Structure 1
């Protein structure tokens, strides 16, 4: 029974780690640095910008050179990393 309980615990840990890994995006350092250094105008938006949701159509998304998996926008004075294909928010830089 002890071996069974340990197996279940190991499986739950592995599943939990996978779920967390899917929600966490590790940005390459050069992506963060590039976005923070850009002098891009901010778009004012009344709604919330939420990780996992697309930015509104009124928000201009800019590509990041040599980083095809990431783009960015500036919304309400916050820099936002997005998926360039879906415009889904990946991370909000604080």
Structure 2
């Protein structure tokens, strides 16, 4: 009975696992880029809805470039710095 239960459980996770998987990719933003964003706040913007890692920043919002780190830019939302990938405008890092 235990063997059948284990096999059934394994099959469920194998079959249903992709349905619950998210497309989130963990990005390690370099520390100097994070330090720069904290040291150089920009004018805050307002974005409707929640902003989370993986969210896309709208095209009409101007991103502030991070010197020496061209793959990333940032904005401040509700006094919180948010680092964005310049490739697809997805949020990759929220500071705490």
For normalisation by structure 1, the TM-score amounts to 0.69
Q: Within 5 Å, which residues of 2 pair with 1:10-89? A: 23-89=25-91
Give unmatched runs, 5+ long, in structure 2: 1-20
Q: Which of 1 and 2 has greater Rg? A: 2
Give unmatched runs, 5+ long, in structure 1: 1-18
- In 1, distance between residues paired with 2:53 and 2:30? 18
Aligned residues: 74
- In 2, distance between residues paired with 1:82 and 1:39? 14
**Runs of 4+ deviating beyond 6 Å:** none
For normalisation by structure 2, the TM-score amounts to 0.67
Contact 1:62 1:73 in 2 (8 A): yes
Tell me the C-alpha RMSD between the 2 structures.
1.8
- In 1, distance between residues paired with 2:58 and 2:29? 22
